[in-house]
A and B are shown apart, each in its own frame.
Chain A
Amino acid sequence: MEHIVELEHVDAGYGGKTVLSDVSFSVERGEIFALLGGSGCGKSTLMKHMIGLNPVLAGRLTVAGEEWSAASRARLCRRIGVMYQSGALFGSMTCLGNVMLPLEEFSPLSRRERRAKAMELLASVGLEDAAGKMPAEISGGMKKRVAIARAMALDPDVVFLDEPGAGLDPLTSSALDELVLRLREERGMTFIMVTHELDSIFATADRCAVFDAARRSMVALGAPRWLADECEDEFTRMFLRRGGRA
């Protein structure tokens, strides 16, 4: 299997402060992978390293076989897509404008082709009717779906999802999980999500990396069901069982 993202003995942190030490795992193409842990355990910090916002403190982190550097940044940015917790849509643009933005900046397509592709992406997340609306006119769940469409605009190797279910009602959150599964099925997309929502993890994730703030490290790695039932690490079993599914 092809490794899309690979971490080898990575120390994660910011401002010289180490939050997680010696993290190693890899994510394979087509996988839905979750970074799981309590608040403040460092999973969002680790994701910032993975999407190139902050350099790792130590170790080796590769995306599509390349490490983040000034030289590789432009290439790697086109190979990843990111959906932020709030959606992070640009308020001065319509939903269509938001999805078209990466295409306008980086795609060789003509204006008509870019528009057609953006509409197709909006349709894939079920929002073709919202193309002309401004972000302020749509709900939180719709913003996240538009953000996923924007993240997929350049056909990236991997899409990162930051707390996809945060701030959503259970039905909308569940619909978002179904969307992720469908996009993986239809487009072979790889997803890495940061979350502490266990329902979502059991519904979507193939594998999880579990982080513990007290030990400042990754404490378990595996399929959610296995982690809940058979993992040797007690913290991991307790964490996953409190989701009420195990």
Chain B
Amino acid sequence: MSAFGERMSYLGEAVASAMSVAIHPRRFRFGDFALAFQRAACDGLPVCMGMGFLLGLILAFESAVSLRTFGLHSYVAALLAIGLFRELGPIITAIVLAGRSGSAFAAEIGAMKTDDELDALSTMGLAPVGFLVMPRVAAAALAMPVLTIFAELSGLVGGALVLAAMDVPPVVFWSNVVSASSAFIIALGLAKSVLFGAMVGLIGCIAGLRTRMSADGVGVSTTAAVVGGIVSVAVADGVIAVLCHVWNI
């Protein structure tokens, strides 16, 4: 089977497993889900908040320096809010998730494969996709909105600090943020974050399942998980941006 065919086969299995879990929720491995969620969300929170804070800080600084010439730097808050909620929050969080959790999923499942644990599951009559992939994909998909919200809030704090240094009072900053934001923009960003989380989790798990039985197998899978996750998220974000433009959203 070609590499593409193999990936599509795993994707099909994952969809079938998701439907099976939806019909029989008791088959879902909540213990594995909780562990994967803790590692993706709780352990990843400081990195995402740090990245969000720095992103907000840098964006605000670069924008404010240019806009201050025209006396418009107080509007940086609006720019920051729209940018973070709609695009940058989900994207930067997905990149962090791909680096932390996507790679971890690939390495974990890849090591299990080289240790015959996947064969052990198969000979027990348990499908590795349903057993290993579903809890991790669900954890990544649900961790993403949590991480995204914290990354976005941290970004706003970073922006507020820069503007405060440029004599824009925090009250004005938050007022501009609130007036520029809408429930729809926030919901769109969070919906994208769920999609990106599922993609990063699935790509990481599939990379693990495709691990070659060689010395460099797990390393190659980990790289594929991170690169595949980031590229797929960027492509998906581009497609969503075009669709939003076409549908005038």
- Cα A53 to Cα B120 in complex, Å, equals 10
Known: A92-B32, A92-B35. A84 touches B119 (CB 8 A): yes
Answer yes or no: B71 CB below 8 A from chain A CBs.
no
Partner of A85, one of B35, B116, B123: B116
Residues from chain A with Cβ under 8 Å of B123 in the complex: 51-53, 77, 80, 82
Q: Is the CB of A78 within 8 A of B120?
A: no
Number of inter-chain CB pairs below 8 Å: 41
- Cα A28 to Cα B124 in complex, Å, equals 22
Answer yes or no: B43 CB below 8 A from chain A CBs.
no
A47-74, CB under 8 A of B: which get 1 and which 0?
Answer: 0000111000000000000000000011
Partner of B125, one of A89, A91, A105: A105
Chain B interface size band reads 10 to 19
- Cα A91 to Cα B35 in complex, Å, equals 13
- B111 to A, closest residue via Cβ: A91
Residues from chain B with Cβ under 8 Å of A86 in the complex: 115-116
Residues from chain A with Cβ under 8 Å of B124 in the complex: 77, 101-102, 105
Answer yes or no: B175 CB below 8 A from chain A CBs.
no
What is the interface size of chain A, counting residues whose CB is below 8 A from a CB of the partner? 21
Answer yes or no: A88 CB below 8 A from chain B CBs.
yes
Q: Is the CB of B125 within 8 A of A77?
A: yes
Given A51-B123, A77-B123, 9 additional A-B pairs, CB 8 A: A53-B122, A73-B125, A74-B125, A82-B119, A88-B119, A91-B112, A92-B32, A105-B124, A105-B126
Interface residues of B (CB under 8 A from A): 32, 35, 112, 115-117, 119-120, 122-126
5 pairs, CB–CB < 8 Å, chain A vs chain B? A74-B125, A77-B122, A82-B120, A84-B119, A90-B120
